[in-house]
Amino acid sequence: MKKALIFGVTGQDGAYLSKFLLKKGYIVHGVKRRSSSLNSSRVDDIYSDPLIKKKKFYLHYGDITDSISVYNLVSTIRPNEIYNLAAQSHVAVSFEIPEYTTNADSLGTLRILEAVKKVNKKIKFYQAGSSEMFGKVVEIPQTEKTPFYPRSPYGAAKVYSHWITINYRESYNLFACNGILFNHESPLRGETFVTKKIVKALCKIKLERQKKLILGNLYSKRDWGHAEDYVEAMWKILQFKRPEDFVICTGKQYSIKDFITLVSNDLNMKIRWKGKGVNEKAYDSKGNCIIECNKKYFRPAEVDTLKGDYSKARKLLKWRPKHNIKSLIKDMISYELKHIDD
């Protein structure tokens, strides 16, 4: 049985990847941070499943800003594969806490790579890279060869992790790979990311449990996929015959406003837009203002457009997304309506 160690197991991708690997027959060890309130809700169902409890899923305390805990975990668990999904992953927040973001999102990766180098160079390593590294894009669509131009402390920190992963691969012959993943969403997406914020609010507005949604920039464009598809790509990257880096995306892009339209259509809500810039507002069929913009949700520097090209993953990994934007939105809405009282 293969053993996987997942840093960031309590996050969106950590939960999907744990389930995926358990289905593949892996023993999964996950690292969670100590927190004063419970932070394992996304994996509680796995943890309490009687079948899985039979020594297949373990949770350990640890923190990627703490070299001692990182080294101890790698040396005691001695996994076959490590997935580094741990990060301060919110781009807007990275402007507020840039030093912590850099410590976790850059040095965190270095700490794990050093532990792998010392404990066993045969451990395969996956680094959760991001399309945010492309930032102010220099070409469209973005591929593995597109130069980076990060636009946030988060993006810059991920660029360091990308290159240090390649450096350890080339210097010490590690099986260390970067996935350059474009935005991926799901019912388990964190509530402050724009897709989850929109789906949750529009479901509540539809059921008259909320009056208004406040957003930032409606005109940035993203290439949105489903987390379920993207964790499969992470695993495939580590099963490939050589350690390489891969772009994972859908190749389609939509603006935030397009996303709102698709969600409201699915919920059978008619909305009308009026105004411009930060004064742009959306009204329901009764004339109530249900969406407005506020400067506080705009970023000091924005990534205006992202659209990837996954030809390399399609050709070498035989990976392609199974979901499209409509099935992603359906999945998110259906979860939200079921959990409206949570």
Cross-strand bridge partners of residue 215: 293
Are the beta carbons of 62 and 75 closer than 8 angstroms? Answer: no
Q: Say how many residues touch ligand F7E, by CB under 6 A.
A: 21
Least distance between ligand NAP and beta carbon 132 (Å): 7
For residue 221, give every residue at least 6 positions away whose Cβ sits within 8 Å of its Cβ, in sequence order, or none: 253, 254, 255, 304, 305, 306, 307
The string of DSSP letters for 144-169 reads: TTSPP---SHHHHHHHHHHHHHHHHH
Q: Candidates 135-143, 215-223, 241-249, 263-271: pick the segment binding ligand F7E (CB under 6 A).
A: 215-223
In the block, tokens 């001695």 appear at 78
- Rule CB under 6 A: is residue 104 a binding residue for ligand NAP? yes
Smallest distance, Å, CB 33 to ligand NAP?
A: 4
Q: Which of 177, 172, 170, 313 is nearest to 250 (CA)?
A: 313
Kindly state the smallest distance separating residue 243's Cβ from ligand NAP, in Å.
18
Which residue spans within the chain are E strands per DSSP?
Answer: 3-7, 27-32, 57-61, 81-84, 124-130, 176-181, 184-185, 213-215, 221-222, 225-226, 246-248, 254-255, 272-274, 281-283, 289-293
Two structure tokens written together for 213: 């949604």
Q: Cβ of residue 197: shortest distance to ligand F7E, in angstroms?
A: 6
- The listed partner (ligand F7E, ligand NAP, none) that binds 88, CB under 5 to 8 Å by sort, is ligand NAP
Beta pairing partners, 179: 128, 246
18 binds ligand F7E (CB under 6 A): no
DSSP-derived secondary structure letter, 276: -
Binding segment (CB under 6 A) for ligand NAP, from list 81-89, 210-218, 267-275, 284-292: 81-89
Contact between 89 and ligand F7E by CB under 6 A: the answer reads: yes
**Rule CB under 6 A: is residue 98 a binding residue for ligand F7E?**
no
Asked whether 6 and 30 are in contact (CB, 8 A), the reply is yes
Per-residue burial over 93-105, b = 16 or more CB atoms within 10 Å of its CB, e = otherwise: bbeeebeebbbbb
* 281 forms part of the interface with ligand F7E (CB under 6 A): no
Residue 210 or 220 having the CB closest to ligand F7E: 220
Among the residue ranges 16-24, 38-46, 172-180, 297-305, the one whose residues contact ligand F7E (CB under 6 A): 297-305
CB-side exposure of 313: number of CA atoms within 13 Å? 29
Q: Least distance (Å) from ligand F7E to the CB of residue 132? A: 5
Q: Is 215 in the site for ligand F7E (CB under 6 A)?
A: yes
Assign 337 to helix, strand or coil.
helix
For the chain, report the end-to-end CA distance as a whole number of angstroms: 37
Site string for ligand F7E, 234-273 (x = CB under 6 A): ----------------------x-----------------
What binding mask, one character per residue, do residues 149-188 give for ligand NAP by CB under 6 A, x or -? --------------------------------x-xx----
| CB 187, min distance to ligand NAP, A | 12
DSSP states along 169-211: HHHH---EEEEEEPPEE-TTS-TTSHHHHHHHHHHHHHTTS--
63 binds, among ligand F7E, ligand NAP, none (CB under 5 to 8 A by kind): ligand NAP
For residue 53, give every residue at least 6 positions away whose Cβ sits within 8 Å of its Cβ, in sequence order, or none: 47
Residue 10 interacts with which of ligand NAP, ligand F7E, none, CB < 5 to 8 Å by class: ligand NAP
Binding site for ligand NAP (CB under 6 A): 7-8, 10-14, 33, 35, 39, 63-65, 85-89, 104, 128, 130, 181, 183-184, 190
Binding site for ligand F7E (CB under 6 A): 89, 91-92, 130-132, 182-183, 192-194, 197, 215-217, 220, 222, 256, 297, 299, 302
